[in-house]
Amino acid sequence: MDQYATHQRLLIAAVMQTDGQVVEMGCGDYSTPLLAEIAAAQGRQFVVYTTSDEWGSKYQDIADVRILRSWFDYPYPACGLTLLDNEEYVRDRKKHVPRLLDTSTVVVCHDMGTNEWGAKFSTADTIHKPPTVALSNHKKIVFTSRSGLTYDNQPIVTVACVYKTGGDFTAEYVHRLIENVREHTTRPHRFVCLTDSNEKFACETLPLIDGLPGWWSKLELFRTFHGRTVYFDLDTIIVGNIDPLLDYDGPVALLQDWYSEEPKLSTPVMAWNSPVNFIYPTTEEKQEILQAPRKMDEFFVVAKLERAKWHVDDVCKILSIVSYKKHCRERGVPDNARIVCFHGHPRPHETGWKL
């Protein structure tokens, strides 16, 4: 992970569990756009304080930026969340923490990995360098586990799919994917299908509520799942153990497109362990989608992540994921492959479900 982005997971977990004003002391490419996106989606005020005219002017279009002559002038406003990541040396930053704990529900401190200030609750991400610590005298904000940070108290991963009726796929695809996952992982998991169907599946189901067309229904994932989640398109066939994917502990991982010479991310297989509902479309964005439904959902997802300066991992570096059309149709499934994606025609049923 980029060292300048190591605070993102803990920061997002904290901001999603607070309300009220969001304040950033200092600003930066990996925090200011991200906080601006979340605050706008939740209708919250977002204020940035900085002593740098240059950095302040960079973000004045997306935040209420207030330039201070010195950090001695900081007003300590009451707020839901304060991110302490300003231009001072860490030793000088620490002087702010006691007063911030009195005026903020949660304080997230980047480059500061321990609780030395007597906060009632704290969670530190010391796995990544530099470390980050979240502090609060008011509420416990996250849970920790041996494998790193999680964002709920569930010891298992969610495996999700989306079944929108009326397209190329039938209920058989869901049934097959459920069994496919169970066969190829040793990890405890809950399998959840987001659907508009009344079909009875051997898994938990949740309703699609937005009425978005086709593949756009996939965006409802980001409204629904904020903890450790792995997603598969229905035309995915698993051929090997996928435990490393279910163990993924980063912020978010997308699939690198096989055909693009330039880096291009896509969404047939995804994983995340962060609150990601800032990706979920606003009412205005839903209207734009309905007006141009032939566009691909992946462009929307990637644009949201890029606008928020989110660090994105390549899911193909976690385990081997191959394309049926590019890698398997002529030569068979590569020996090291764990997952085969059909991504378009032919669909698996058009091949008799044979690889």
Domain ranges of the chain: 3-142, 157-351
Tokens at 67, concatenated: 């330039």
**Contact (CB, 8 A) for 312 and 328:** no
**CATH number for domain 3-142, candidates 3.10.20.440, 3.40.50.150, 3.40.50.1860, 3.60.9.10:** 3.40.50.150
Note the pTM of the prediction, 2 decimals: 0.65
CATH architecture under which domain 157-351 falls: Alpha-Beta Complex (3.90)
DSSP-derived letter for residue 290 is H
| CA distance linking residue 38 with residue 18, whole number of Å | 12
- pLDDT, one tens digit per residue, over 204-251 is 899 999 988 888 899 999 988 877 899 999 999 999 999 999 999 888
| Banded pLDDT at 142 (limits 50, 70, 90) | low
Q: Scanning the structure block, which residue is given the tokens 């690889």?
A: 355
Q: What is the pLDDT of residue 315?
A: 93
- pLDDT, one tens digit per residue, over 86-100 is 988 888 888 999 999
Length of the chain: 355
| Banded pLDDT at 263 (limits 50, 70, 90) | low
